[in-house]
């Protein structure tokens, strides 16, 4: 049983609270359960809490975090960062996003938005309940003769599931256009039916930010296996050996960031 599923009297801690910690930070990866991620605030937002999951201080070349936006909260004014792109994925509740001069669009659970580098946006909660939004910031890697991407506001239900591996039980949703060289990263929904798994231990140059959305499983990082549940986060640096094996009765799904479409820096 997961500790969070135990019935505990108010003010008491669950058994094992001090004897077991699932969180692990290594030089090339980090396994971060939500329990130990502390809350902070951002000057550009009002009535909003932020919990950082990955940042350069960890070793990542991007920042990933969860925003909890209270009703009436969000960005104080249009926000833009020169050379920095943003991605948002709604986890719960609802929020509205306006990109550049576009009209506000509602993000419900599964809704997402891509904001190109330097383009202003507003993210607000006009609803009556808090909205939880997974966010990512990354400095754009521009290349000659390749234009920056256009804004995207959509929902995962509008993105087809594909399976280019040919292996039963696995499917992919590419939330950003697959193979489009204007983008220097991907955000993909990875789906696993019970009993499926990676066909091999992957060891590659890409960096990852993984947020578990549904289900559970075992994740290999380096030489260690970790039990992963919904809301857990993993940062994987380049060349971190990795493999996933779902262990639940239902499908497992996670949202995966990875940097692609650019040459290595020498």
pLDDT tens per residue across span 165-181: 777 889 999 999 999 99
Q: What pTM value is reported for the model?
A: 0.93
**pLDDT computed for residue 2 by the predictor:** 62
pLDDT in tens, 102-136: 899 999 999 999 999 999 999 999 999 999 999 99
Strands in 79-184 per DSSP E: 84-92, 95-99, 105-107, 111-115, 121-124, 131-139, 152-155, 170-174
**pLDDT computed for residue 8 by the predictor:** 79
Residue 42 belongs to domain spanning: 25-259
3, part of any domain: no
**pLDDT computed for residue 166 by the predictor:** 74
CB 135 within 8 A of CB 86: yes
Return all residues near 6 (Cβ < 8 A) that are at least 6 apart.
14, 15
11, part of any domain: no
Q: In what order do the strands lie in the sheet with 185-192?
A: 24-26, 29-32, 233-236, 208-214, 252-259, 185-192, 170-174
pLDDT over threshold 70, residue 19: no
Q: Report strand pairing: 252-259 vs 185-192.
A: antiparallel
CA–CA separation, 51 and 35 (whole Å) = 11
Q: What is the mean pLDDT of residues 155-169?
A: 89
pLDDT over threshold 90, residue 3: no
17, part of any domain: no
10, part of any domain: no
Closest CA to 154 of 187, 119, 193, 118: 187
**pLDDT computed for residue 70 by the predictor:** 98
**pLDDT computed for residue 92 by the predictor:** 98
pLDDT in tens, 174-221: 999 999 999 999 999 999 999 898 889 999 999 999 999 999 999 999
Residue 216 corresponds to which tokens in the numbers above? Answer: 């559970």
187, part of any domain: yes
**pLDDT computed for residue 18 by the predictor:** 58
Coil, strand or helix: which one is 158?
A: helix
The DSSP code sequence of 30-55 is: EEE-GGG---B--TTEEEEEEEEEE-
179, part of any domain: yes
Per the listing, tokens 């959509």 go with: 154
Query: Given CA atoms 136, 142, 143, 145 in this order, what sign does their dihedral have?
Result: positive
95, part of any domain: yes
Instruction: Please count the structural domains in the chain.
Output: 1
CA–CA separation, 7 and 38 (whole Å) = 23
Rounded to the nearest integer, the mean pLDDT of the chain is: 94
Identify the burial level of 41 via C-beta atoms within 10 angstroms of its C-beta, where 0-12 means exposed, 13-18 middle and 19 or more buried.
Answer: exposed
Closest CA to 49 of 138, 130, 137: 130
Q: Residue 132 — φ and ψ, nearest 5°?
A: -110, 125
6, part of any domain: no
CATH number of the domain where residue 32 is located: 2.60.120.10
């Amino acid at each position: 049983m997961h500790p969070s599923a135990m019935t505990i009297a108010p003010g008491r801690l669950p058994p094992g609270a001090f004897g077991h910690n699932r969180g692990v930070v290594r030089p090339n990866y980090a396994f971060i359960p939500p329990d130990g991620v502390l809350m902070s605030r951002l000057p550009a937002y009002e009535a909003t809490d932020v919990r950082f999951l990955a940042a350069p201080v960890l070793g990542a070349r991007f920042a990933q975090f969860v925003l909890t936006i209270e009703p009436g909260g969000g960005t104080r004014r249009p926000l833009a960062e020169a050379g920095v792109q943003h991605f948002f994925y709604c986890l719960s509740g609802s929020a509205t996003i306006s990109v550049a001069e576009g009209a506000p669009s509602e993000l419900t659970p599964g809704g997402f938005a891509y904001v190109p580098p330097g383009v202003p946006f507003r993210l607000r909660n006009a609803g009556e309940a808090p909205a939880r939004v997974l966010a990512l910031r990354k400095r754009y890697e521009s290349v000659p003769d390749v234009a920056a991407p256009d804004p995207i506001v959509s929902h995962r239900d509008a993105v087809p599931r594909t399976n280019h591996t040919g292996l039963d039980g696995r499917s992919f949703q590419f939330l950003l256009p697959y193979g489009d060289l204007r983008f220097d990263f991907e955000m993909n929904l990875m789906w696993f039916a019970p009993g499926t798994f990676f066909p091999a231990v992957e060891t590659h140059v890409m960096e990852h930010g993984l947020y578990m959305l549904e289900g559970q499983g075992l994740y290999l990082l380096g030489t260690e296996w970790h039990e992963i549940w919904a809301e857990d986060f993993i940062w994987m640096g380049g060349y971190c050996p990795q493999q996933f094996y779902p262990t639940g009765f239902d499908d497992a799904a996670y949202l995966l960031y990875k940097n692609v479409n650019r040459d290595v820096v020498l």
